[in-house]
Amino acid sequence: MSLPTWTLNELRSEARPWEGKAWRLVEAQNIISTRKLVENVHEQNILDEILDESKPRVPESCRHLNFLLFTPFRYRPYPHGSRFRPAGVTDGVFYAAQEYETAVAELAHYRMKFYQDSPGLEAPGSAPEYTAFQVDVKTPFALDLTADPFVQYEEVWTRHTDYGPCQALAKTAREAGVEVILSRSVRDQHGRKNVNILSCAAFAKPNPLQVQTWRILANGESATAYCRSPKTVLEFAA
């Protein structure tokens, strides 16, 4: 299939309002990580302030948001390309999913891939902890790649490793003022939707709505994800 090309005006005309909830998984977010390095909470607060000052500045349009929301927009350059973000000094993308099961599937895929790409590396016997959090999204400018006219190019948008067409689309979409791109998850066997947020303006609320704690035990062949509340076990094969 030939690669699709879209002009600014075409994408502007196809953008539609969208609102909903989205889930994202990140490494465990808690207060323990720096606490063990100092004597008391006061010293921990000072250390955290020093560490934060050493990080890149948060974009002005994102500073009203909780750090979980603004972090993907903070770091440039971007060392490795992803589906909607090229490598280099590029604008951030908040990758999320409509269902937490899809967000877990996405992360489990990359945990398995890490071990596949690291021959001889023994997987740990314990399951690392991750934080899943839900955000509220509302935008007047969203593109849905699972609907017309984009769905006819689904094979292009859902390639497993060739992200060039998606990155090109996202670049033009940004220039057209698009804030969210909805796409079918390649890693979720049920094909549920991902919510790819291009702009901090798309967050309807500055803080997460819900938070879950997950543990994911993975190796190069499989991954098992556990959540205590809601009590859930998800299994994935490479």
3-state DSSP of 136-173: EEEEEEEEECCCCCCHHHHHHHCCCCCCHHHHHHHHHH
Do you know the residue count of the chain? 238
Share of the chain above pLDDT 70, in %: 94
Place of tokens 């991954």: 223
Type of residue at 233: V
Region of 27 on the Ramachandran plot (φ > 0 left; ψ -120 to 50 alpha; else beta): beta
Residues 69 and 84: their CA atoms lie apart, in Å, by 17
Model confidence at 198, in pLDDT bands (50, 70, 90)?
A: very high
Residues 120 and 56: their CA atoms lie apart, in Å, by 35
Model confidence at 140, in pLDDT bands (50, 70, 90)?
A: very high
More confidently predicted of 76 and 168: 168
- CA distance between the termini of the chain: 27
pTM for the predicted model, two decimal places: 0.91
pLDDT above 90 (res 3): no
The alpha-helical segments, DSSP class H, found in 54-149 are 67-74, 100-116
